Amino acid sequence: MGKCNNSEEVDVFVAQIDPKEASASLKMLGSLFPLPESLGHLKRIRKDAQQTSLLITQTSDQITQDSILSILENNNFKLKDNTLSIAKVSKYPPVTREQLNEWKACWPMSFHEPRKEAPIEFTDSDLTEIEGFLDLVNTTANDAPGSKGQLSIAAAIIDPKTSQVISVCRDNRHRHPLQHAVMQAIAAVAEKERERRESKSDPVTTRKRKSLDSDESVIGNAPYLGDSEDEGGDGYLCTGLDAYLSREPCAMCSMALLHSRIRRVFYEEPRKDGGLGSAYKIHVHPNLNHKFAAFRIERK
């Protein structure tokens, strides 16, 4: 194996196979040992004149070499000799062509030319609409009388294509510590969707399952929205929708927005414990499998 010259490397298990088994093996490997998105730059297979090797999985104290071999064996996975070796591969995707050429010596990688980020431009009418939705949220947040102990916080979820308000909810944490406005607003969208399906007599349990977004894993699995295909969605509850919040959401609410695949989030008041810019930047965290745009709106 070549040397990466890359200070950030991770260890992976590698096994040799017969080249004829490559496509079947790759398919099975994808479900037995999915690669985390953070290693998505690594190719799964390496072919050269002498041998064909597969990247099986990252080494970890959670799984032993023997248990990997027994999983492979139980699934009739054909290894050339029944052993694994350890290779060092680049932990990060290459940012430049030079890095690619240098780092791929130890294991093949894919490379995407970075795209220039365009400056954000909102038209006057965009801004008017954004302010209008923030006004709606603030009005809801400050609705008199509110019950005793209720905080002046609210959240709205909007379909930007139609400017339709899908849900707008006030915070309820004084009654239930997890019923923050954002959680309430997401739950309301889900409830509406369930009602819509029931009225179409399309029971949730029998609906057709849409292919899952390929990088879904462990938890955070969003619903298989069966009929979203014909509506242009990708199968997640808030795909294409925007959220307007009276204040920056906490980590729980920020991640809930990510799990729901929100498109954009606009909020006014920053918070020390906020998850979209202050304490964390969950919307652009490099290890998370989805990103969204967040805007803090300052008004006089």
Residue numbers 66-125 binding another protein by CB under 8 A: 67, 71, 75, 112, 114-115, 117-118, 120
Tell me: does residue 169 bind another protein (CB under 8 A). Answer: no
**Number of Cβ atoms within 10 Å of the Cβ of 111:** 16
User: CB of 29: closest distance to another protein in angstroms?
Assistant: 8
Give the tokens for residue 247. 């204040």
Number of residues that bind another protein (CB under 8 A): 88
C-alpha span between 183 and 256 (Å, rounded): 7
CA 97 to chain centre: 27
Q: Out of 170, 180, 264, 290, which residue is the one contacting Zn ion (CB under 5 A)?
A: 180
* Closest CB to Zn ion among residues 120, 218: 218
Give me the amino acid identity at 233. Answer: G
Tell me: does residue 185 bind another protein (CB under 8 A). Answer: no
Question: Which of another protein, Zn ion, none is residue 45 near (CB under 5 to 8 Å by kind)?
Answer: none
Q: Out of 1, 10, 21, 37, which residue is the one contacting another protein (CB under 8 A)?
A: 37
Q: What ranges in the chain are assigned the alpha helix state H? A: 22-32, 65-74, 97-103, 124-141, 181-199, 251-259
User: CB of 181: closest distance to Zn ion in angstroms?
Assistant: 8
Number of residues that bind Zn ion (CB under 5 A): 5
Give the tokens for residue 279. 């304490």
Binding part of the chain for another protein, among 83-91, 126-134, 135-143, 216-224 by CB under 8 A, reads: 216-224
> Cβ(271)–Cβ(247) under 8 Å?
yes
> Cβ(256)–Cβ(185) under 8 Å?
no
Instruction: Characterize 238-260 residue by residue with b for buried, 16 or more Cβ atoms within 10 angstroms of its Cβ, and e for exposed.
Output: bbbbbbbbbbbbbeebbbbbbbb
* Closest CB to another protein among residues 39, 89: 39
Question: Which of another protein, Zn ion, none is residue 297 near (CB under 5 to 8 Å by kind)?
Answer: none
Q: What is the dihedral of CA 269, 131, 136, 292, to 10 degrees?
A: -60
Q: Which helix (H) or strand (E) holds 294?
A: strand 293-296
User: CB of 248: closest distance to another protein in angstroms?
Assistant: 9
Question: Which of another protein, Zn ion, none is residue 217 near (CB under 5 to 8 Å by kind)?
Answer: another protein
* Closest CB to another protein among residues 117, 124: 117
**Number of Cβ atoms within 10 Å of the Cβ of 196:** 11
C-alpha span between 43 and 59 (Å, rounded): 16
* Closest CB to Zn ion among residues 69, 185: 185
* Closest CB to another protein among residues 236, 244: 236
Site string for another protein, 123-152 (x = CB under 8 A): ----------------------------x-
**Number of Cβ atoms within 10 Å of the Cβ of 35:** 18
Tell me: does residue 257 bind Zn ion (CB under 5 A). Answer: no
Binding part of the chain for another protein, among 13-21, 97-105, 162-170, 186-194 by CB under 8 A, reads: 186-194
C-alpha span between 263 and 240 (Å, rounded): 5
- Burial class of residue 220 (count of CB atoms within 10 Å of its CB; 0-12, 13-18, 19+): middle
- Per CB under 8 A, contacts with another protein among 268-287 are 271-273, 275-277, 279-285, 287
